[in-house]
Amino acid sequence: MASIQLKNVEKSFGSFVGVKDVSLDIADEEFLVLLGPSGCGKTTTMRMIAGLEHPTGGEISIGGMVVNDIDARDRDVAMVFQGYALYPNMSIYENIRFPLRMRKVPKDEHDSRVRRAAEMVELGPFLDRKPGAMSGGQRQRAALARAIVRQPQVFLMDEPLSNLDAKLRASMRVQIKHMQRDLRITTVYVTHDQIEAMTLADRIVIMNRGVIQQIGTPDEIYSDPANTFVAGFIGSPPMNLIEGKAQDGNFSAPGIHVKCPSSLSGPITLGIRPEDCKIDGTELRGTVYGVEPTGDITYLTVRTGDKHIEVKAARDFRAPIDSSIQIGFDQNRLYFFGQDGMRVRE
Ligand code: ATP
């Protein structure tokens, strides 16, 4: 059993707090993704789990045991970083075998374990090659095989796909997910790529400025954002956030009028996702600012007051720039946030 617990974990660098009061329960076999913008503290959080950084506060447990004072090499975690860090003079076979030699695993097990790990990442035919004679994707798979060969209790992966091109990233995503399902190893995965997070995670932890903003399944994070940060971070383009005023069951902002719960009053931020806006309707009046056909969908930008509202329109939608346009909002998909940025529910 390798569940992981973080209790009120903090990491200060001098007077700067990089990770603030982080509490997390990661279940055995869970695939947990730490997601957030650059500098939000995700790598530091992962490095503390690995034992590469020492927390300045709080407690970290792996498999029910507090590990604050246990060295990285004694924590039984395997890490995969964005750089592959393979030994260039060793064959792929020797690279994958390396952790078994380091950990003094009995020699008669080496060959079968190396080959099984290589099979899992489809590198069976490449074992005799040197890393220099491999593509970026193959090298990254070799780094994964080297991590899985010793069957650690925990996998820690820090942006392992960020050096790969978009197509390879997509296929590696599927491969990593498969591998984790087969091996059933608790995995913490750091990324700033929301597609990676949405497709890989059992649960996502969204961080900003060292603080957890929300923990939830990809569906929960997308359809039930806790605050304007999460709403404005997830989605492509993300949720439109419109500041306005609520009064007597109506929300208004320049060019925008919608019904809202009568319990709301005063300054409120309205949230509406681009796919929940439709051409024609009464909620928004504005002018066409941009029309971007992409093949399967057309992105429309509408200008109203000093705001730009993003709309996902049908593939064949076209309209002249600066022409007047009306947009409807799906009434069941409106979100409201208070002045503190937190979601307001009826
Ligand atoms: P990125 O996606 O850019 O890697 P991140 O979310 O992983 O970002 P961290 O690397 O965890 O962010 O850094 C969190 C904050 O702590 C950042 O503001 C960073 O500058 C700061 N920080 C990290 N390591 C140190 C250090 N050794 N000394 C001082 N500040 C640090």
**What residue segments make up the domains of the chain, in order of their start?**
4-229, 243-337
Percent of the chain with pLDDT over 90: 79
- Give CA angle at 44 (238, 102), nearest 5°: 125
Ligand 1 pocket check for 11: Cβ under 6 Å: no
Q: Once rounded to an integer, what is the mean pLDDT over residues 84-109?
A: 91
Tokens of 16: 């700067």
Kind and range of the H or E run holding 35:
strand 31-35
Q: Rounded to two decimals, what is the model's pTM?
A: 0.91
Contact 49, 218 (CB under 8 A): no
Tokens of 203: 């649960």
Ligand 1 pocket check for 36: Cβ under 6 Å: yes
pLDDT digit string (tens) for 39-89? 999 999 999 999 999 999 999 999 999 999 999 989 989 888 776 678 999
pLDDT digit string (tens) for 205-247? 999 999 999 999 999 999 999 999 999 999 999 999 999 999 9
pLDDT digit string (tens) for 103-151? 889 999 999 999 988 988 888 899 999 999 998 888 888 998 898 898 8
Domains 4-229 and 243-337 share a fold: no
Tokens of 134: 């491999």
Contact 160, 84 (CB under 8 A): no
Arch. (CATH architecture) of 4-229? 3-Layer(aba) Sandwich (3.40)
Q: How many angstroms does the Cα of residue 41 sit away from the middle of ligand 1? A: 6
Ligand 1 pocket check for 35: Cβ under 6 Å: no
Under 8 Å CB-to-CB from 109, ≥6 apart: which residues?
A: 100
Q: Ligand 1 test: best mutation among 9, 16, 35, 229, most atoms within 8 Å of CB?
A: 16
- The reported pLDDT for the residue numbered 242 is 97
pLDDT digit string (tens) for 296-313? 999 999 999 889 999 999
Q: How many angstroms does the Cα of residue 84 sit away from the middle of ligand 1? A: 21
Assign domain 243-337 to a CATH class. mainly beta
Tokens 């060295």 correspond to: 71
Whole-complex ipTM: 0.94
